[in-house]
Amino acid sequence: MATEYVKYVDVTKCDGCRACMVACKNWNDLPAEPQDFLGTMQSHANVSADTWNVLTFVEHENSEGKLDYLFRHSSCYHCTDAACEKVCPENAISYTDFGTVVIDQDTCVGCGYCVQNCPFDVISLKTYKDKNGDEYRKAHKCTMCTDRLEEGLQPACVTTCHTEAMEFGEKEAMIKKAEKRVQEIKDRYPNANVYNPKGVGGTHTIYVLTEKPSVYGMPENPKVPTSAVLWKDYAQPIGKAMVGGVAMALAGAFVANKFFDKKNNQENRDGGGSHE
Amino acid sequence: MTNHWNDLQNTDCALIMGGNPAENHPISFRWLTKAKERGAKLISVDPRFTRTSAKADLYGQLRSGTDIAFLGGMIKYALDNELYHKEYVAHYTNASFILKEDYDFNDGLFSGYDEATRSYDKTKWAFETNEDGTPKEDKTLKHPRSVFQLMKKHYDRYDVDTVISVTGTNKEDYVKICEAFCSTGQVGKSGTIMYAMGTTQHTVGTQNVRAFGIIQLLLGNIGLPGGGINAMRGESNVQGSTDFGLLFGDLPGYVGAPKAIPEHATLAGYNEKETPPSGYWSNKPKFMVSMLKAWYGPNARKKNDFCYEYLPKGNKNYSHINLFNAMYKGEIEGAFLFGTNPVVGGPNAGKEKEALGNLKWLVAADLWETESSAFWQKEAGSDPSTIDTEVFFLPAASSYEKEGSVSNSSRWMQYRWKAIDPKGESLADLEIIHMLMKNIKELYKNEKTAIAKPVNALYWNYGKGHHPDIDLVCKEINGYDLKTKKLLPGFAALMDDGSTSCGNWIYSGFYPEEGKNRAKNRDNKDTGGGNYLNWAFAWPANRRILYNRASADLNGKPWSKEKAVIWWDASQKLWVGNDVPDFVPAKSPKDPGGDNPFIMTKDGVAGIFAGNLNDGPLPEHYEPFESPVTNAFSSQEINPAVQIIEGEFNLKGNSKEFPIVATTYRVSEHWQSGSMTRNQEWLSELVGHMYIEISEELAKEKGIKNKDKVIVSSARGEIEAYAMVTKRFKPYTIQGQKVHHIGMPWHFGFKGFATGDTANRLTPHVGDANSTIPEYKAFLCNVRRAD
Amino acid sequence: MSNQLGTQIKVKRFSKGFVVAHAVNGISFFALYLTALPMYTEWFDWLYVLFGGPENARFLHRVFAVTFILPTIIMLIFDPKGFFNWMKELVTWKKRDLQFFTEFVKDLFGLKFKHVKQSFLNAGEKINSVLQIVCAILLIGSGFTMWFPDAFPKALVQWGYFLHNVGFGLAFAVALGHIYLSVIHKNSRPGFKGVITGEVPAWWAKDHYTEWYEEEVEKGNFPDVDIEKEMKKPTGA
């Protein structure tokens, strides 16, 4: 496996300018999605098929009653153990050498399994119309600009970030950087932490947070859903085996019947003896 | 800016007041973030907890329009606690000057006030002088008539309790802020003040900035890296536009425009009256004559006063407010709107829209049809059948579709190249103006009338064809030695005898020789101190930190190693360092004037006391035009030198009917009147609706829930908006009474993808006493649910 | 053998309602499987082409999902008695039901076996019914969460996928057995015809479902027949 990369997001340096959102739409050619007024500066309640990253705004009164206004660049986390990849029935979702998780649009059938199983709610379906006017759907999410990575560029959001709140670099180095940064800001933010959740094997977007993840609207302990593990690691293979097993048994039965039929062809009835 | 964006990284403390750079000047945060990593403290003072406040170490809540109270208290704090830089104050400022007995201050009024004209006789604020005309000084600062002592007395009234009863700031926060910022008075530390329209758009806007100046001089922060007073300009080229004379009182290079007064009738008279005997402005005649040579070319001759007579001269205030007042009264026939949208951006915008209807013709050059060029349409609330104005719309090219330069807040003239051809019929502004002028000249060429003369005299020679040769324009700005026909190396070479030409003296030297347009420089290697001298060209003379001589002590040695910019190198007999010295390069500290770092001023020192402003030599707190309370500092409610337009053009609300303080501001996602950004879908989706920010407490009182539609009203009008109920606004306690404060973006109008009511329908038509900038930032309103 | 006169006596085993319900159920079941197979395993992706793309497959899957729910309703409307009898059968378990299985295995592989007296459904069919009902509940219930994910808590939707998958595997295995026994396995083939026509040979019914048959005889609904004689008659079908 090639070097794994990580997008490092230091929320303490983010000034909430949202250039990352525009840069994303620009590079990925995504249309605008006008929203109703949400009652906050946040533009979209969540990421969507056409809005792959959303800057979240949270007004938070900390334990000392001091107001914090928290900004966070939120998009796909690119899990090491990605539930979406696990549940995709078409193998349309895959890991790249960079450690990113991407959806192959040609293979995607729009079933939405990934949408429902993502522990972070970052995948959405988009409805398209084909030339006959029939609707079809495809799942979309942040690709970490894998197309840019392949050309030796960085993700568009990272490139545009002027405060260096975001960086893209080798996984180990970024994790070290995050840990160091947390130590630096502990005085001011006693709850500071690195967000790189183990329940999904770690992520390829890691955060330096000033407060508990839940304050930012992030899951505290995200994991691949147990149901998805049982489904894909047990039910599906067992189911396939079972179907195969029954089919084999029946085939065996068929052959055996032919065999015994020949042997007992003088026998009457269906071979069943009389009742006692 | 005295300093520049990149230099913010050198600061130890940034006081951000009247600005919200995280939202409106985000790139500043690239540098502030670096400063923070070095341990710098950020202070945000704002009526509302902004994205900047979120990034700051200290936040101070401040009622809109009370900056001088806040800063006056800080001045007192620095003086009382002796946190000021004593040597700097004594030697580099006019604190030691002795004032004549005429100067006085009593109950909000300085001496020399004339109530009838609402103006001061500024001669009452003069210094005692020696026989040679130089001011009398007391370097011990102990003389009771010294600026220092009188300033101390002036701000003695600004004790913490009085201040916070006016500003509404939490006492503990206030003291912490004073302590943090005044700590930069120590040698080896520097503090910067960053401000924007929250400072200037007040009836005391100029004095707000003056208060910054006093603090920075007391703390010895001017001329130092990471110091200075830094105006964050709101448009990419607003610095360039003021540099090039777009302010009504100035010609290019901040040379004062002549007026219709007898002394200004001739060039000699003008020079006599406007040229100080000492300081760099003593060269003003060279700047003026060289500019006239650039404008009138061979027609400008010594014997015809270099066509000085053709410069327009008037005695009126030609500011935005007064132009629209005249338009409202039907005194103006036609107008050009170049990339401006007063129906959204002007104060009391409803009236400005009406005023446009009194024009015979209106030419609007813009990227899109704006609310102003569409002022006559039904969707503007107008009745087209009653409007006779003929509107011409000229499609303009965007910045990517044309070549030229912009000058940013750092005073950097940065050249930009065209990326794509203009769409459709749109043209660059320069081309529009070029064609217009060529046509006008053609129309007048056979006339000999008084009107035709200046048109015919104008030297307009920028190549053939529709598009002017922009390189010729650049060279004209830089200036020529007319004898050798060579480009000038800089403004030091300018002459007042007609042998040099120069379009704008402060930019002279940006194009010193053929093929060397320094605005095109793009070397991003740090040349030391974060000054990047080979990136673009900074006026004047590519100097990055103004007054940088003040970073060194009297002997030319930096006050501290940490904050060194330039220093005297005795072996070379030159000032050397990380920047272009803001000083005569070979003038030794021991030479006469060698320890006077502020070369632009007459006395070579900075003005803690400024006798040339209309509303007083020391900043004094007055309440805004509309205020919920009475002035705690004096019986003068509003700045006594402000001109007030009476009548229906500028209705005034009272605090009974309109008890809530309101302010306006911008968001990152939209730009100015929104005509560029609201026509951009990706930005429109980010902030798609007009809203007001309102505290949880006020919302509760008014029965307003988050996302409700509300009506905001002022004496001038009503608008509808969504309510954003937020913890980031808190009610104020002002003089013991609860005062509510709201805020709203002013970007919205009826055109584009993101539409909404225009906040400026609420704002008043009253301006600052010096600049006449409108008081957008503090007015009274009321709020109710829309249903 | 052929000297016996007359055709086999038929008895009514299934009501019209059941026949229809069973047919709708069966067809829906197959259709659902076919339209879902490419999602279950990529070996069947070619089926998408057959259905005109994933969207159409999904559409058909949902159409048949609706028809799959119908049999219960059909039964309840047209043959409520039969439905409740069936339900009763399923919850009635006696010793004979357990004995059945040892014999069934022999039967299945064509070995000699004895008929254990069975009621309307033999124990195997009961198991089949129970499993199919359980699977149907699983599949239909989880199908709802999958079809309308926004109407359910996310955890339920996630478990829905698992249950749908379990239901898929289980129902498929059960159905394979059921179909094999009815269509291919020679000894139960009359039952296959019966589920289409509603009638089965009396001897076969008596032989396979003795207890039920005898009850019906007692009620006077069916004639008592001699199994050995009857089965030698032509089927007359």
Q: Give A114→chain C minimum CA distance, Å.
A: 10
**Residue A263: per-residue pLDDT:** 64
Question: pLDDT tens digits for A153-195?
Answer: 999 999 999 999 999 999 999 999 999 999 999 998 999 999 9
Q: Give B72→chain A minimum CA distance, Å.
A: 27
Query: Is B252 a domain residue?
Result: no
Residues A240, C169: C-beta atoms closer than 8 Å: yes
Compute the 3-state secondary structure of chain B and give helix, strand, coil in percent, each to the nearest 5.
Answer: 30, 20, 50
Which residue in the set C53, C165, C180 is minimally distant from A235, CB to CB?
C165
Residues B685, A32: C-beta atoms closer than 8 Å: yes
Which residues from B are below 8 Å from A when comparing CB atoms?
22-23, 26-27, 29-30, 33, 49, 51-55, 57, 667-669, 681-689, 691, 706-707, 722-728, 753-754
Residue A26 forms contact with B (CB below 8 Å): yes
Longest Cα separation, chain B: 79
| H, E, C per residue of B222-236 | CCCCCCCEEECCCCC
Beta bridge partners of B395: B366
Query: Which residue among B231, B247, B267 closes a domain?
Result: B231
Q: Which helix (H) or strand (E) holds B683?
A: helix B681-684
CATH of A5-223, one of 3.30.70.20, 1.10.3720.10, 1.10.1740.10, 2.40.30.30: 3.30.70.20
Residues A21, B686: C-beta atoms closer than 8 Å: yes
pLDDT > 90: percent of chain A: 79
Query: Is B272 a domain residue?
Result: no
pLDDT higher at B153 or C10: B153
**In chain A, what are the domain boundaries?**
5-223, 225-265
* Number of other CB atoms surrounding residue B750 within 10 Å: 17
Residues A243, C169: C-beta atoms closer than 8 Å: yes
**Residue C199: per-residue pLDDT:** 79
Q: Give B52→chain A minimum CA distance, Å.
A: 7
Residues 162-201 of chain A whose Cβ lies under 8 A from any Cβ of chain B:
162-165, 188
Question: pLDDT tens digits for A53-100?
Answer: 999 999 999 888 889 999 999 999 999 999 999 999 999 999 999 999
**Residue B414: per-residue pLDDT:** 97
Query: Is B772 a domain residue?
Result: yes
Based on the fold, state whether residues B66 and B198 are members of the same structural domain. Answer: yes
Q: Give A130→chain C minimum CA distance, Å.
A: 11
Q: Name the nearest CA neighbour of B78 among B200, B222, B180, B190.
A: B180
Q: Give A256→chain C minimum CA distance, Å.
A: 6
Task: Please state, in angstroms and rounded to a whole number, the distance separating the CA atoms of residues B665 and B680.
Answer: 20
Query: Is B147 a domain residue?
Result: yes
- Nearest C-alpha in C relative to A240: C169
H helix intervals, chain C: 16-40, 46-51, 54-78, 80-91, 95-108, 123-147, 154-179, 189-197, 202-208, 210-219, 227-232
For testing the chain C interface, which of A233, A250, A254 should be mutated: the one with the most C CBs within 10 Å? A250
Q: Which residues of chain A lie closer than 8 angstroms to C116, CB-CB?
A: 275
Query: CA separation (Å) from B293 to A220, B261, B299, B387, B497?
Result: 72, 23, 8, 43, 10
Residues B23, A16: C-beta atoms closer than 8 Å: yes
pLDDT higher at C183 or A132: A132
Which residue in the set A31, A33, A39 is minimally distant from B724, CB to CB?
A39
**In chain C, what are the domain boundaries?**
11-232
pLDDT higher at C17 or B376: B376
Using an 8 Å Cβ cutoff, are B669 and B677 in contact? Answer: yes
Query: CA separation (Å) from C35 to A232, B188, C2, C30, C40?
Result: 20, 77, 48, 9, 10
Q: Give C53→chain A minimum CA distance, Å.
A: 8
Q: Which residues of chain B lie closer than 8 angstroms to A166, CB-CB?
A: none
Residues B51, A15: C-beta atoms closer than 8 Å: yes
Under CATH, what is the fold of the domain C11-232? Answer: Fumarate Reductase Cytochrome B subunit (1.20.950)
Lowest-pLDDT choice from A233-242, B468-477, C227-236: C227-236
Q: Which residues of chain C lie closer than 8 angstroms to A223, CB-CB?
A: none
Burial B121-156 (b: 16+ CB within 10 A, else e): ebebbebeeeeeeebbbbeebebebbbbbbbbebbe
Residue C175 forms contact with A (CB below 8 Å): no
Residue A31 forms contact with B (CB below 8 Å): yes
Measure the N-to-C terminal CA separation of chain C; round to a whole number of Å: 18
Question: pLDDT tens digits for B378-415?
Answer: 999 999 999 999 999 999 999 999 999 999 999 999 99
Using an 8 Å Cβ cutoff, are B121 and B615 in contact? Answer: no
Question: pLDDT tens digits for B94-137?
Answer: 999 999 999 999 999 999 999 999 999 999 999 999 999 999 99
Domain range for B103: 5-231
Q: Write the ipTM.
A: 0.92
Dihedral sign of CA atoms B3, B219, B201, B669 in order: positive
Query: Is B378 a domain residue?
Result: yes
Which runs of E-coded beta strand occur in B473-615? 480-481, 486-487, 500-501, 537-538, 566-569, 574-577
Q: Which helix (H) or strand (E) holds A58?
A: strand A54-61
Ramachandran angles phi, psi of A224, nearest 5°:
-65, 125
Question: pLDDT tens digits for B177-229?
Answer: 999 999 999 999 999 999 999 999 999 999 999 999 999 999 999 999 999 99
Q: Give C7→chain A minimum CA distance, Å.
A: 17
Using an 8 Å Cβ cutoff, are B31 and B192 in contact? Answer: no
Give the CATH number, domain containing residue B86. Answer: 3.40.228.10
Residue C219 forms contact with A (CB below 8 Å): no
Q: Which residues of chain A lie closer than 8 angstroms to B669, CB-CB?
A: 18
**Token pair recorded at residue C232:** 């030698």
Query: CA separation (Å) from A121 to A83, A140, B504, C63?
Result: 11, 12, 58, 29
Please count the structural domains in chain B.
3
DSSP string covering B761-772, please?
A: GSS-S-B-TTT-
Using an 8 Å Cβ cutoff, are A17 and B23 in contact? Answer: yes
Whether residue C237 is predicted with pLDDT greater than 70 in this model: the reply is: no
Which residue in the set B49, B682, B727 is minimally distant from A25, CB to CB?
B682
Based on the fold, state whether residues B226 and B328 are members of the same structural domain. Answer: no
**Token pair recorded at residue B629:** 């309370």
**Residue C5: per-residue pLDDT:** 54
Q: Which residues of chain B lie closer than 8 angstroms to A163, CB-CB?
A: 26, 29-30, 33
Using an 8 Å Cβ cutoff, are A54 and A41 in contact? Answer: no
Query: Is B479 a domain residue?
Result: no
Based on the fold, state whether residues B178 and B55 are members of the same structural domain. Answer: yes
**Residue A261: per-residue pLDDT:** 65
Using an 8 Å Cβ cutoff, are B589 and B568 in contact? Answer: yes
Query: Which residue among B201, B216, B231 closes a domain?
Result: B231
Q: Which residues of chain C lie closer than 8 angstroms to A48, CB-CB?
A: none
Q: How many CB pairs under 8 A join A and B?
A: 97
Whether chain B lies against chain A with 3 or more Cβ pairs closer than 8 A is yes
* Number of other CB atoms surrounding residue B719 within 10 Å: 23
Residues A259, C110: C-beta atoms closer than 8 Å: yes
DSSP state of B402: S
Ramachandran angles phi, psi of B376, nearest 5°:
-85, -5
Whether residue C6 is predicted with pLDDT greater than 70 in this model: the reply is: no
Computed over every residue of chain B, the mean pLDDT equals: 97
Give the CATH number, domain containing residue B340. Answer: 3.40.50.740
Q: What is the dihedral of CA B212, B216, B217, B218, to 10 degrees?
A: 100
Q: Name the nearest CA neighbour of B72 among B188, B5, B160.
A: B160
Query: Residues A24-46: what's their mean pLDDT?
Result: 97
